[in-house]
Amino acid sequence: MSTIKIEGLSKSYRKVEVLKDIDLQIDTGLFGLLGPNGAGKTTLMKILSTILPWKDGQVTIYDFDLSKEGDKVRELLGYLPQHFHAPGQFTGREFMHYVASMKGLTDKKERTDQVERLLEEVNLQPQANKRVKSYSGGMKRRLGIAQALIGNPKLIILDEPTAGLDPSERIRFRNLITKLSKNYTIILSTHIISDIESSCEKVAVLNNGKVLFQGTTVALAEIALNFVWELSVPYTEYDDIEKKHAIISSRKEKDSVVFRLIASGSPDGRAITVQPTIEDGYMAVINGVIK
C-alpha cells in the first residue's frame, strides 16, 4: 500500500501553473524528490504538509483525503521547512520543550522523556543547553529534525535539509536520515544527487512542475545506459564541445580535457560509452535526452 498517492495534482500561483498534473506514489522508507531550483519541490512539500491549498487533483496520505482530512494528516506529520528558523535566544532544549508544548504534550514527564530521547537521537544532547544562535548550520538542521519528530509522526517531510551544509555536516546529516528511515517514512527534497544516492531506494525527478521520472535509483541510472559518453579532446576544443553538448563533468589531463556528456547518439568519433550513474540518469532526464 502506498503511504502517499497523488493523482492529477496541479497548483498555480496567481495564473502561473507551477505543478502540472502530477501523479506520484510514495511508499514507506526514504523517498527522494530531486529537481533543480524552481522545479516545484517546495510547493509540493508545502501541499503535502497541509500548509498550501491546491487547485486540481487528489492527494491521499495514509488513506486520508488531504483536501478534507487535513487535521488527521497533521497528526501523522513532522515537517522541516526549507528555511527552518528557531529563535536564537532559546537553548536547543528550551526550543524542543516549546514545540512539544505547542504540539499538545502537556504532561511534563512525558514531554521531558520525549525531548531527551529526540535530542539524543540527533546527537544534540551535549549542546542542548547552548543558545541556538551559537549553533552551526548542521546543528540547527539537526534541531530542525528533532522538532519534526516530536509527537511520534509516521511521515517526515524534509525540504532541502542539506542546502548550505559543509561536506562533513552533510555526511553526518545523511547518516542521521538513513538511520531514521528505518522507523519513519521520510520524503526528502534536494537538488544534490549525493544526498539520495546512498540512502534512497525510490526517487522522483521534478522539473518545471512536471514529474519526469519516478522509480528506483537503479532504474534512474539505467535510463541513461548508452547515453553517457566520455570524450577526450585537446584543450583547444574545450569551448566548442561545451557549447554543443550537455556536459555532466570535465577533468583536465596533461594537454587534454576529458568530458563526460549526455547524448542520444555518438557525439563525436572519439567518444566511448560509459557506465551511467544516478547523476547521469538525472541529467539525461532533465536535459530531455530521454523522453
Ligand X SMILES: Nc1ncnc2c1ncn2[C@@H]1O[C@H](COP(=O)(O)OP(=O)(O)OP(=O)(O)O)[C@@H](O)[C@H]1O
Per-position DSSP letters for 145-162, written without gaps between them? HHHHTTT--SEEEEESTT
Q: How many residues bind ligand X (CB under 6 A)?
A: 12
Instruction: Please state the φ and ψ torsions of residue 138, each to the nearest 5 degrees.
Output: -65, -40
Torsion of CA 256, 261, 267, 271, to 10 degrees: 50
Q: Which of residues 22, 32, 34, 41 is near ligand X by CB under 6 A?
A: 41
As a whole number of angstroms, the distance between CA 126 and CA 136 comes to 14
Instruction: Provide the 3-class DSSP secondary structure of residue 270.
Output: coil
Residues 177-196 that bind ligand X (CB under 6 A): 191
Q: Which is nearer to ligand X, 41 or 174 (CB)?
A: 41
Q: Which of residues 30, 31, 32, 42 is near ligand X by CB under 6 A?
A: 42
Place of cell 584543450: 235
Q: Which of residues 2, 17, 18, 169 is near ligand X by CB under 6 A?
A: 18
Binding mask 189-228 for ligand X (x = CB under 6 A): --x-------------------------------------
CB of 231 to ligand X, least distance (A): 31
CB of 81 to ligand X, least distance (A): 11
CB of 36 to ligand X, least distance (A): 7
**Would strands 210-216 and 155-159 be described as parallel, antiparallel, or unpaired?**
unpaired
Instruction: Provide the 3-class DSSP secondary structure of residue 232.
Output: strand
- CB 140 within 8 Å of CB 86: yes
As a whole number of angstroms, the distance between CA 99 and CA 31 comes to 26
CB of 182 to ligand X, least distance (A): 27
Segment contacting ligand X by CB under 6 A, of 24-32, 36-44, 227-235, 249-257? 36-44
Which parts of this chain interact with ligand X (CB under 6 A)? 13, 18, 35, 37-43, 82, 191
